[in-house]
Chains A and B, each alone.
Chain A
Amino acid sequence: MKLTCKQLYDFMGDYLEGNLPPETMCVVKTHLERCPCCLHYLENYHEATRLGIKVCQEEEKDISANVPEELVRAILDARGKDDPKP
């Protein structure tokens, strides 16, 4: 079994997660060893995914007090109208 670059791109997500059958994993690996273009694409794709996750995770750690005052007031006012025990 041989893969074109186009076919390999379709397998990338499953390849990175180890979700391909062993034979297909092997074929992808062989292609990557011989094709720097696909190898670089896979590495960049993987890095883009990891960066997205990391940046969002870190962002959430940093933001504890960053909420517009008018939104705070709107929420608390709305609660006051809703709640029978203010």
Chain B
Amino acid sequence: MDTPRQPEPLPTRWESDTELLAALRAGDPSAYEHLVREYGGRMLLVARRFLSQEQDAQDVVQDAFLSAFKAIENFEGNSKLSTWLHRIVVNASLMKLRTQRRKPERPVDDLLPRFSVDGHRDAPEPAWAVTYDTAVQDRETRDVVRRSIAELPETYRTVLLLRDIEQLSTDETAARLDITVPAVKTRLHRARQALKTLLDPHMRQSSGSE
């Protein structure tokens, strides 16, 4: 869905988080607008990783900002505002996932390697043709990586996002998702395997497009 976007950022009147925070606490409307314009895009991007529906992601960002506005008096400034907002939108995304009725997922088994009865792989495994350094420089590859993460079944994608992207510990991920530590480890491993499978066609044949 195409939506109108704000092409020009507002001029920054606040030199630091401390100044912006003071303006927010004073109820300055332009400070609130600045906060939303400055951080809203990144927060939406984070929410979209967790939630496949655009409207859900936008709802989560709105909820996250409203929670942040209410909590602004209590923000102690131990972390950057951006880090604090990031944490709030991750929490709001997890909350949204918990309240949604679980939809049928693609079985992750389809994306895992298969083995013969004697424990050997049932197919050859060539080294990827594209190196890591080339891949990160290539826009098409970056798009493929993003799409592949989005394509992971939700149960596995959520664990991969929390552990690998958000860099939470295994224990913290288990607590957030209310699952066991071994379940986090198993899901993370399968999520990484599934991501690798989804990237295979591109990484085996491509030599980069930029």
Contacts and interface: CB of A to CB of B under 8 A. Distances in A.
B117 to A, nearest CB: 10
B41 A63 contact: yes
Interface residues on B, range: 35 or more
Contact of B29 (A4, A10, A67, A86): A86
Interface residues on A, range: 35 or more
Nearest to B131: A47
Nearest to B3: A68
23 contacts: A4-B115, A13-B185, A38-B125, A40-B126, A44-B200, A48-B192, A48-B195, A51-B136, A52-B160, A52-B192, A53-B165, A55-B142, A56-B149, A58-B142, A59-B142, A59-B146, A65-B6, A65-B8, A72-B6, A72-B37, A82-B70, A83-B69, A86-B27
Contact of A75 (B9, B61, B128, B145): B61
Scoring A9, A72, A86 by chain B CB atoms within 10 A of each residue's CB, the highest score goes to A72
B interface, by DSSP: helix, strand, loop or mixed? helix
B146 A76 contact: no
A6 interface: yes
A24 to B, nearest CB: 15
A29 interface: no
